[in-house]
Amino acid sequence: MTFKHILFDLDGTLADTAQDLVFTLNKLLQSEGHQPLPFEQVRPMVTHGANALIEAGFGEHLPAEKFKQLTAEFLDIYQNHLTHKTVLFPGIAELLVTIEEQDQLWGVVTNKPSWLTNPLMEELGLAQRAACIVSGNTVEHKKPHPQPMFYACEVMGVSASECIYVGDARRDIEAGRRAGMKTITALFGYINDDDDPSTWGADGSVEHASEIIEWQKRFNRDSQ
C-alpha 206, offset from chain centre: 15
CA-CA distances (angstroms) from residue 70 to 41, 46, 54, 74, 78? Answer: 20, 16, 7, 6, 12
**Can 193 be counted among the known catalytic residues?**
no
Sign (positive or negative) of CA dihedral 35, 36, 37, 42 = positive
For residue 63, which phi and psi values (nearest 5 degrees)?
-60, 145
DSSP label of 163: E
Alpha-carbon gap, residue 209 to 106, rounded angstroms: 14
DSSP label of 112: S
**Can 11 be counted among the known catalytic residues?**
yes
Catalytic residue among 9, 16, 20, 168: 9
For residue 164, which phi and psi values (nearest 5 degrees)?
-115, 135
**Contact call for residues 84 and 23 (beta carbons, < 8 A):** yes
Catalytic residue among 11, 16, 168, 172: 11
- Residues labelled catalytic: 9, 11
